[in-house]
């Protein structure tokens, strides 16, 4: 009774902890996911697409992109921009936060936990692993297109298990092929990480097909289904506004040297091992590597859970490769987390199934041995037989008592698993609705109690939003070409009804290496910066007060301060300032005459 009480207490505690973590995650999303200025131009482009009912063919916000007409303008995440703006249009920034919280909690809680229980993952590990996976991705919970890629990667992993791993297809499963293609058609218009989904499906197809072909010397209907899923998914990636142009653009996005300027694309460094932010990732990686080693050592047959051949090898490849990817690029850690949890849980389910199979086999052998022993005893004398049976019965009862004590000690967490199974079922509409509603409550809590926190972009230690400076620029309307900080450009795009043409914003891949390098030279006032000032005919600048270019220009004659505070400074060339005054006088005179 005491044993059952504590198991029930642990099960209830785990469920309460899970729901509490979901609420905290939603509060965190509402309070921190808008601090990235990238969301500004995502919303602005979404607004332009919705109101114009078409995709723009050139950049509407800068003057420098037009100087390089050979570069194609590809909105590779246009559907995300539309969805972001529609959610904003419906409920302002609260609507955007609700969308982000719903998608993120579905990607890291609802779907992973549902999937985990479906494949037979122990309930305790499923809940604890889900919480750990959620914590691993916390640091990158932003209102950015990646949120849809997190969700759709989990969908792809779940579909692989439900339709390809856990089902023996005697003929080609065309509904599965259609499902993989439909998800990819949506994904390739939402975010460039659809390539990760294709890569996942390709490796799964390769390992599974090779394992079956080597063993059977033929391709079964199951193999044909898997191959078709990959082929159709790949073909669906061309169903986008740019066709093959999207694939032509992707190398400039993934392999550009400009990525060295983006902090989140850098590898984990030695000092990061002292950052608690990455500890959940280290723990998750270590746990799944342990399961991998045990599964490989045990030489488990995936047929125990109805899976095709090669699945242990595929899971090992996935966990090791994602671990390496997470260390090489921090942005990949959330993707690594969901897949490592899925494959680690799958291996744990296999180990559990093997353990149960071995236990059942041992019981059968023990029963057969007892029957053989009983047959031999029956040939002995009646009196000796009776005495032997009494002694054997006493020994057997003693052994049963010892075994019961041992089972009681070993089965505590199994009892917790049973209590968890009886307490909730992470499947069906109500499960997903419960998590979504809880996420919505967390967002509403922040937006109603701390409305000043719901602002775009949210300021932090690394970035102070220059709202007052932008207000001053809107009133002064400086003339001529602008040189600006990239993140300031993001904010201007969204905050100003008619923003001035920018030098740059944070869409580095769209601007290209030359413009970004010129920005670096100008901002740091490196040799050649004055030549670039003349080349781009820069008449005013909008940067941080400690920017080297601001100090250089303030030391020169002909530049005046238009606005300055702790977050930013606006400097204007005196000749441009005179032009502004002249234009303002003419405008006032024209108004007076009218």
**Residue ranges covered by each domain of the chain:** 17-354, 383-423, 467-593
| Cα three-residue angle 582-584-588, rounded to 5 degrees | 120
Position 99 scores a pLDDT of: 97
Residue 187 and residue 194 in contact, taking contact as beta carbons nearer than 8 Å = yes
Position 425 scores a pLDDT of: 81
**Helices 78-105 & 146-159 angle (0-180, nearest 10):** 70
Q: Which residues contact 16 (CB under 8 A, 6 or more apart)?
A: none
Position 407 scores a pLDDT of: 43
Long-range contacts for 222-225 (Cβ within 8 Å, ≥24 apart)?
A: 222/164, 222/168, 222/169, 222/308, 223/308, 224/172, 225/164, 225/169, 225/172, 225/173, 225/176, 225/177
What global pTM score does this model have?
0.88
Position 369 scores a pLDDT of: 74
Strand pairing report for 481-484 and 569-573: unpaired
457: preceding bond cis by omega (within 30 degrees): yes
Distance CA 224, CA 102 (A): 36
φ and ψ at residue 45, rounded to 5 degrees: -70, -40
Position 337 scores a pLDDT of: 96
Q: Which residue has the tokens 């620029």?
A: 473
Running along the chain, 594 residues long, what does each successive block of 10 average in pLDDT? 74 91 95 93 96 93 92 93 97 96 96 88 89 93 96 95 76 93 97 96 93 86 92 97 94 81 82 88 95 86 69 91 94 95 89 78 76 62 50 47 46 79 82 94 94 88 88 93 96 94 94 93 95 95 95 89 94 71 41 32
């Amino acid at each position: 009774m005491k044993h059952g009480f504590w198991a029930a207490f642990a099960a209830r505690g785990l469920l309460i902890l899970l729901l509490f973590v979901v609420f905290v995650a939603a509060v965190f999303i509402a309070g921190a996911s808008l601090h990235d200025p990238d969301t500004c131009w995502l919303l602005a482009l979404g607004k332009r697409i919705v109101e114009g009912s078409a995709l723009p063919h050139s950049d509407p916000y800068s003057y420098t992109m037009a100087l390089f007409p050979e570069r194609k303008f590809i909105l590779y995440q246009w559907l995300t921009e539309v969805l972001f703006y529609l959610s904003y249009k419906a409920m302002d920034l609260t609507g955007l936060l609700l969308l982000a919280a719903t998608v993120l909690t579905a990607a890291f809680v609802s779907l992973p936990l549902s999937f985990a229980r479906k494949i037979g993952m122990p309930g305790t590990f499923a809940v604890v692993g889900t919480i750990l996976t959620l914590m691993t991705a916390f640091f990158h919970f932003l209102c950015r297109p990646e949120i849809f890629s997190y969700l759709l990667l989990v969908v792809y992993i779940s579909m692989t298990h439900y339709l390809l791993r856990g089902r023996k297809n005697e003929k080609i499963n065309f509904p599965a092929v259609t499902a993989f293609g439909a998800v990819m058609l949506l994904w390739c218009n939402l975010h460039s990480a659809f390539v990760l989904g294709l890569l996942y499906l390709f490796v799964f197809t390769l390992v599974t097909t090779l394992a079956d072909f080597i063993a059977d010397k033929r391709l079964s209907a199951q193999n044909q289904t898997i191959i078709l899923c990959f082929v159709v998914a790949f073909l669906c990636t061309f169903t986008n506004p740019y066709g093959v142009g999207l694939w032509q653009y992707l190398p400039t996005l993934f392999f550009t040297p400009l990525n060295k300027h983006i902090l989140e694309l850098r590898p984990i460094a030695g000092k990061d091992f002292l950052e608690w932010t990455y500890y959940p990732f280290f723990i998750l990686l270590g746990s799944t590597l342990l399961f991998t080693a045990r599964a490989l050592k045990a030489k488990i047959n995936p047929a125990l859970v109805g899976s095709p051949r090669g699945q242990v090898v595929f899971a090992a490849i996935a966990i090791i490769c994602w671990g390496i990817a997470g260390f090489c690029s921090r942005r990949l850690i959330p993707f690594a987390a969901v897949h490592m949890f899925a494959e680690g849980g799958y291996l744990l389910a296999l180990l559990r199934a093997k353990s149960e199979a071995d236990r059942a086999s041992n019981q059968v052998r023990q029963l057969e041995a007892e029957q053989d022993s009983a047959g031999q005893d029956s040939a002995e004398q009646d009196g000796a037989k009776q005495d032997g049976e009494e002694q054997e019965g006493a020994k057997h009862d003693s052994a049963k008592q010892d075994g019961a004590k041992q089972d009681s000690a070993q089965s505590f967490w199994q009892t917790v698993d049973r209590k968890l199974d009886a307490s909730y079922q992470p499947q069906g509409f109500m499960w997903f609705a419960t998590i979504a509603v809880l996420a919505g409550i967390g967002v509403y809590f922040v937006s109603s109690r701390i409305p000043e926190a719901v602002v775009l972009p949210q300021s932090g230690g690394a970035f102070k939003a220059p709202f007052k400076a932008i207000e001053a620029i809107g009133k002064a309307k400086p003339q001529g070409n602008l040189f600006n900080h990239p993140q300031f450009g993001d904010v201007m795009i969204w905050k100003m009804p008619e923003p001035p043409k920018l030098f740059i914003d944070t869409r580095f891949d769209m601007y290209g290496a030359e413009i970004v390098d010129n920005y670096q030279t100008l901002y740091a006032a490196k040799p050649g910066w004055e030549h670039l000032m003349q080349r781009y005919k820069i008449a005013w600048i909008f940067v941080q007060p400690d920017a080297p270019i601001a100090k250089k220009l303030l030391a020169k004659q002909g530049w005046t301060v238009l606005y300055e505070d702790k977050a930013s400074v606006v400097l204007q060339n005196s000749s441009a300032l005179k032009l502004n005054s002249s234009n303002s006088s003419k405008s006032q005179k024209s108004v007076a005459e009218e």
